Amino acid sequence: MKENPSTPIVEVDSVIGNVGGKLLLTIHFVKAEFMLAFIRDRNTAASVTNVFNYLNDTLGDKRFAKLFPVILADNGSEFSSPTSIEVSPDGVVRSKMFYCNPSSPYQKGAVENNHEFIRRIIPKGKSMDHLDQDKVNLMMDHINSYKRENLGDKSPYEVFKMFYGQRTLDLLGAHLIPPNEIILKPKLLK
């Protein structure tokens, strides 16, 4: 897929805790480095579709289409139902989904790189079975509030707000954490 610089690309991926346990669907807004995460009980296409339907219901058709014009995924089985993501249950085309080439995770490198923040809080191989969506939202608030040099020392939250506005952040349930309160360690979720 050739990138049009005016079209925002959203990269999606899964973050696995322990095999067979709960896992995360991550949704990364590349230009803002802002990431959403959703806890799932199983790594299925239906669980991914449910997240996108929830987002569409929460945001409304117009705002959803603005946020998700292009979605880039790998070839994992959880992304094997592109039509159910691209088209809402009532038949509205809401997005376009594209896939990386096989064995080419670098093609969605922004989401992979941002996973390092999740791994600071939930080390690889650790169970996510104790997590609920409120804890995941708390973790993402801390990650999205952490200022980044490559964003001009602004946080992903601040940059996302410039692109999409406070109302969108409110609908997503995102909160800005003061810099001196940010925790990017496992103790955040204890």
Amino acid at 88: S
Domains observed in the chain: 9-189 (3.30.420.10)
Residue 100 to residue 89: CA distance in whole angstroms: 26
Residue 108 to residue 118: CA distance in whole angstroms: 17
Amino acid at 73: A
pLDDT tens, the chain, 190 aa long: 444 446 789 999 999 998 889 999 999 999 999 999 999 999 999 999 999 999 999 999 999 999 999 999 999 999 999 999 999 999 999 999 999 988 777 778 788 889 999 999 999 999 999 999 999 999 999 999 999 999 999 999 999 999 999 999 999 999 999 999 999 999 999 8
Query: What is the structure's pLDDT at 102?
Result: 80
CB neighbourhood size of 189 (10 A): 17
Beta partners for 23?
16, 40
Query: What is the structure's pLDDT at 3?
Result: 47
pTM, 2 dp: 0.94
Query: What is the structure's pLDDT at 109?
Result: 77
> Residue 117 corresponds to which tokens in the numbers above?
């923040």
Query: What is the structure's pLDDT at 107?
Result: 78
Amino acid at 152: G
* Span 107-158, pLDDT tens digits: 787 888 899 999 999 999 999 999 999 999 999 999 999 999 999 999 999 9
- Which stretches of 93-190 are DSSP H helices? 109-121, 133-145, 156-164, 166-172
Q: 81-90 — which CB contacts under 8 Å span 24+ positions?
A: 81/45, 81/46, 81/48, 81/49, 84/45, 84/49, 84/52, 85/48, 85/49, 85/52, 88/53, 88/56, 88/61, 89/53
Query: What is the structure's pLDDT at 6?
Result: 60
Backbone Cα Rg of the chain:
16
Query: What is the structure's pLDDT at 104?
Result: 76
